[in-house]
Amino acid sequence: MILKSLTRERVMFYGRVQGIGFRYRLKYAASDRNLTGWVRNRYDGSVEAEIQGDRDAITDLIKAMAGIRFIRIDGIKRTEIPLEEGEYHFRIESY
C-alpha cells in the first residue's frame, strides 16, 4: 500500500489569470485530480486558491494550468497551510 503525501497549500497566481476562465479551468482540473479546496479572483488581478490533496497532484495541477492557451502565469507563490477536515469538493468563491 502506498501512502500519499496529503497537504494543503495556498497558491497565488500572478499574470494574465482573470477574465479568461482560469478559475473554471482550475476547478475542473482540480476535481479531475481528486483535489479539494477553492479558488477566487482578487482585487489586485491575481487569483488565490487553497488546494488540498496529494502533493504531487497539486504540483501537476499547477504545471497543467501554466500550459493552457490564453493563460499567462508570471509568478506563483505556494505556502503550506493546515489541512481542512470534512472538505469533499473543489469550488469557486467570490471576492
Is 33 a residue of the active site?
A: no
Catalytic residue among 41, 42, 72, 91: 41
Q: Is 23 a catalytic residue?
A: yes
Q: In sequence order, what are the beta bridge partners of 74?
A: none
Cβ burial 52-61 (10 Å sphere, 16+ → b, else e): bbbeebbeeb
Q: Which of 8, 10, 16, 23 is catalytic?
A: 23
Question: What sections of the chain are H helices per DSSP?
Answer: 22-32, 55-66
- Which residues does the annotation mark as catalytic? 23, 41
